[in-house]
Structure formats: C-alpha cells, structure tokens
C-alpha cells in the first residue's frame, strides 16, 4: 500500500476537487493506497469536508490536530500516521500536481527509495516570492554542508525505511527536504512544472517563510558559525597592511592614523577569532542536542555459506525442543 500525506489548512475551496484528482491518479497507478489528510486546525469547513469524504471513500484517513501547529507539525503528524510501504508528501493546493504521482510510484518500483519532485519551472503570481525562491535555493546550495536537491520542496516519495529514519529524528525545527537528503538511501529525481494555486492564497506568511529558510540554513550548515574565522583573516590582513603603511609612512600624522587603524583591526580580529572558536564548540553542542544518529543502516548482506549452518542449527534446536516437550507431555 502507498500512503499520500497532505497537510490541510483552510482549503475548503479545493478539497473536493483535489481529492478527485488524487483518486484518479492513484487508481491509474494500480496499487492499494490511502490518503492521509492532516487538518492543521482549520478555521473554515475543511475538517467537515474531509470527514464527508471519509464517509464516502474508505481510502481517506483524517488526522485532526488540536490546533494550528504549522506546516512541519502537520507533515510530521502525517508521517507518523501513514502505514504505507511508501509515503508520498504533497501540498493540497494543486501546486504539486496529482498527475505526477504515478511517475513517483514508477520510480520507486524501479528501485529508488527516495523520489524527489524537482521543479523545472514555477508559476507564482506573487512576484516577490517568485524572485526570492530562486535566490533562497542558490544561497542554501552554497551554504549547505550536505547535497540538498535545489528547487525541491516537500513533494516527494519516501520508502518505509526512509520514513522511519526521518520519524526517529528528535529535532523540533525541521526542514524536511534537508532531513530527506541527510538520511541518504537511493535517490531519484522526477521533474515537473509547478503551477500556481488553483484558488485562494498561500497559507504561509512571509515571516513563516523566513523562519523556514532559517531552519534550512541553520540545520544543515555550520558556515554561518565559521564566518568569524573568515572575518578574522580579513581583519588580520587589513591590520598587516596598515602596519606596513605605518612603517613606510613619512608623515607623523599618517603614521598615527595607520597605527590606530592597525590596532583597531588587530583587536577586532582577536574578538572575531574568539567568536569563531566559540562557534565551533557551539556547533558541536548543537550536534549533541539534535541527537542525529552517526549512521543509518540500509541493509545487511550476508553470504549464504554463513547463513546455512546457522539455519541448520536453529532447525536442530527446534526439533530438540519439540521432542523434549513431547517427552514431558507423555
């Protein structure tokens, strides 16, 4: 069975049409499926519509959260509820097109354990966001310590092993595309054209998107912490130039000015060096607090010659146990 997890927040205008599109796509994939709708504290009739769909369609699972927990909170609840051998994550506003679902499933059947939907193009009526999204992905690609696919959001398929690995992560400020890349496994990319919302406005505020971007950068990069080292090197270089200029200057006033400037840059450089060292230790504390595993085992391969004697020994032990029970019963 394949699970489709969809976070919902005030989407009463789209729910029925969206479910029809998902049903058509999953039925065309010829597989058993369920769709887990996570109502994230909607203030409109979204929950009532979802319950109505559930009464008519046994494929529908509705998760009702106690309040609005945000996008990542709803996704985490859906991942914990889904029972499928593979789980598809997507938004419920038609920006992640349901007709792409069979392509994700086909890539999974071909052996991929993570199938990421990557946008070839993006239609966005909000012009500011249309400019900021590409800029954000370029910055993230430069800063990230891990290879995170660019132009990829939550739209993806993950096998059960990958979902279990992500669910074990204990951190609270999550950036799911980063976690999905961090756990590893066999990845494959499916390209698609991202459409604009079919109706309504986006539910993530501009401030929420900024926090999401900060979660992405700070969760998967130490480069901001190590920026102090780069600034220390720059300050030391400038201090050296000013010192050399002071020694070569023939004017007393210029000598004093160069000397004061060199002292300022030198002291500032020492402060930046101290901040850099502190940042390195802080980064290690952050690693310990997140409690991410040191490694994740995909599978263990053993030679058949090693397994055969072990299986035979278990069989002999089993026969002996049954004979002993028969003797005791007699």
Backbone angles phi, psi at 36, to 5 degrees: -100, 105
Predicted local confidence at residue 157, as pLDDT: 92
Predicted local confidence at residue 288, as pLDDT: 64
Predicted local confidence at residue 87, as pLDDT: 93
DSSP lists the bridge partners of residue 117 as: 190
Predicted local confidence at residue 231, as pLDDT: 84
Residues in Cβ contact with 83 at an 8 Å cutoff, skipping those fewer than 6 apart: 1, 3, 34
Backbone angles phi, psi at 72, to 5 degrees: -70, -35
Residue 3 C-alpha from the chain's centroid: 18
| Distance (Å, whole) CA 110 – CA 190 | 13
Predicted local confidence at residue 319, as pLDDT: 54
| Distance (Å, whole) CA 292 – CA 182 | 10
Residues in Cβ contact with 14 at an 8 Å cutoff, skipping those fewer than 6 apart: 92, 93, 94, 198, 199, 200
Predicted local confidence at residue 160, as pLDDT: 92
Parts of the chain with a pLDDT under 70? 121-151, 194-209, 211-222, 286-302, 305-330
Predicted local confidence at residue 328, as pLDDT: 47
List pLDDT tens digits, range 23-79: 988 888 888 899 999 888 888 888 888 888 888 888 888 888 888 888 888 888 888
Contact 33, 106 (CB under 8 A): no
Tokens found for residue 26: 């999953």
Predicted local confidence at residue 191, as pLDDT: 85
Q: Would you list the DSSP string of 222-243?
A: -HHHHHHHHHHHHHHHHHHHHH
Predicted local confidence at residue 329, as pLDDT: 47
Predicted local confidence at residue 128, as pLDDT: 64
**Sheet (strand 33-39) strand order:** 60-64, 33-39, 2-8, 86-89, 156-159, 114-122, 187-194
| Distance (Å, whole) CA 166 – CA 37 | 19
User: How many degrees, rounded to 5, is the angle at CA 281 between CA 264 and CA 147?
Assistant: 105
Predicted local confidence at residue 145, as pLDDT: 65
The pTM (predicted TM-score) of the whole model is 0.65
């Amino acid at each position: 069975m394949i699970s489709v997890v969809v976070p919902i927040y005030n989407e009463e205008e789209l729910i029925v049409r969206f479910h029809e599109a998902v049903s058509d796509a999953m039925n065309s994939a010829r597989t058993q499926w369920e769709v887990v709708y996570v109502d994230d504290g909607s203030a409109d009739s979204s929950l009532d519509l979802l319950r109505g769909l559930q009464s008519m369609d046994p494929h529908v699972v509705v998760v009702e959260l106690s309040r609005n927990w945000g996008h990542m909170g709803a996704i985490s609840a859906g991942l914990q509820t889904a029972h499928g051998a593979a789980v598809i994550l997507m938004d419920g506003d038609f920006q992640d097109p349901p007709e792409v679902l069979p392509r994700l499933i086909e890539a999974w059947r071909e052996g991929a354990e993570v199938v990421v939907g990557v946008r070839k193009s993006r239609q966005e009526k909000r012009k500011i966001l249309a400019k900021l999204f590409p800029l954000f992905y370029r910055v993230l690609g430069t800063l990230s310590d891990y290879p995170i696919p660019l132009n990829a959001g939550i739209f993806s398929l993950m096998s059960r092993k990958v979902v279990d690995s992500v669910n074990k992560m204990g951190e609270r400020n999550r950036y799911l595309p980063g976690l999905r890349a961090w756990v590893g496994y066999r990845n494959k990319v499916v390209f698609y054209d991202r459409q604009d919302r079919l109706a309504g406005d986006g539910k993530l505020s501009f401030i929420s998107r900024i926090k999401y971007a900060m979660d992405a950068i700070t969760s998967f990069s130490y480069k901001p912490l190590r920026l102090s080292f780069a600034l220390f090197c720059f300050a030391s270089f400038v201090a050296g130039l000013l010192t050399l200029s002071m020694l070569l200057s023939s004017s007393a006033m210029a000598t004093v000015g160069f000397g004061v400037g060199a002292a300022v840059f030198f002291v500032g450089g020492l402060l930046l060096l101290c901040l850099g060292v502190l940042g390195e230790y802080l980064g290690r504390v952050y690693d310990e607090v997140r409690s991410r595993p040191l490694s994740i085992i995909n599978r263990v391969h053993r030679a058949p010659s090693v397994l055969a004697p072990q299986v035979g020994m278990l069989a002999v032990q089993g026969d002996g146990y049954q004979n002993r029970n028969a003797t005791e019963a007699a």
